[in-house]
Amino acid sequence: MIRIEECLEADTPITIVTDRVKKKGILRRVEKPREYFVKNFNPAEFIGEELCLIKNIRVNHYFLACLSTYNIGSTYWYRDIEDTYPLLKIASKNFQREGYIYKTITDYGFNQHDDVFEEMLTVAKDDKNREELCNDMLNKLALEIFMGQTDAYAFNYKFEEDKEHNVRLAPLYDFQYSVNPLYIGDNEICFGDLHHFKTIDDVKEFIKKYPKFREMLESYLKEDLAGIVKMAYGKRHLHVPERKLELYNEFGEKRKQLIKTILK
């Protein structure tokens, strides 16, 4: 709902990145792990990250970036590069940690078009890990309902497995198709492969099985989406036009009304 041109300030930090995969060697051409992931500017990424920080959910970090082939990793104020007409994007660093394995639900043998919440619980190492993984996934689903996420499909999130085979949800990423009334109707829940909520009654039945989910959803009733947007943008020295804040406030209030209906 926001164009980057509307938000820039003279002291907005811009990091120089490349979206190319670095390679070494002439004959072997061995690929290194990708350092940066780059995508077109979308305000939902910053908003999703800020909500995750508020809710203590592990999340990937997004920052404003400019594509180039020199000074990779260097950061400039926008006023220093404005005259070069930079191609501005959103970027994030690779969150994958050495010594961990990262998998999607398909890597665990589950069909991406199935409801896999309970199937994923079966891969947990023990009862303690199962509770941790369950909480991770419940938090993800509550966030997606509030944000009106419509693209939480199998390859848009990952699970992290340590050497002892404890499984947790990896840091979240890709909030692109959310926080926008063009993507989701007032009474629509969210769309994704972790769990299908087709109707409000589906969520009510889910809460009966996982009572903690009620508390997680209820916690969003106190959140000020417009204020969260200002916070997320302020951290990056970006400003948000007042007319856009009004739209975010309207969207947030509609999502809270949906949650109130679910919790009745």
Q: Do residues 128 and 228 both lie within one domain?
A: yes
Residue 49: give the domain boundaries: 4-93
CATH of the domain at 105: 1.10.1070
pLDDT score recorded for residue 33? 64
pLDDT score recorded for residue 25? 44
What is the rounded distance in angstroms from the CA atom of residue 123 to the CA atom of residue 54?
28
Six-digit token pair at 214? 């009620």
CB-CB contact of 89 with 172 (8 Å): no
Q: Do residues 44 and 72 both lie within one domain?
A: yes
Q: Do residues 142 and 238 both lie within one domain?
A: yes
Give Cα separations from 241 to 14, 79, 248 (angstroms). 20, 20, 11
Residue 174 has pLDDT above 50, yes or no: yes
Q: Do residues 42 and 112 both lie within one domain?
A: no
Domain boundary among 61, 93, 125: 93
Residue 209 has pLDDT above 90, yes or no: yes
* CA torsion, ordered 81, 226, 151, 43, to nearest 10 deg: -10
pTM higher than 0.85: yes
Torsions phi, psi for 89 (to 5 deg): -135, 180
- The whole-chain average pLDDT of the chain stands at 92
Q: What contacts 30, CB < 8 A, 6 or more positions away?
A: 23, 24
Instruction: List, as one string, the DSSP characters of 23-67.
Output: EE-SSS-EEPPP-EEEE---HHHHHHHHHHHHTT--B--EEEEEE
Domain boundary among 93, 112, 134: 93
> Per-residue pLDDT averaged across 187-197, rounded?
92
- Per-residue pLDDT of 98-135, as tens digits, reads 999 999 999 999 987 778 999 999 999 999 999 999 99
pLDDT score recorded for residue 28? 40
The domain total for the chain is 2
Q: Do residues 253 and 183 both lie within one domain?
A: yes
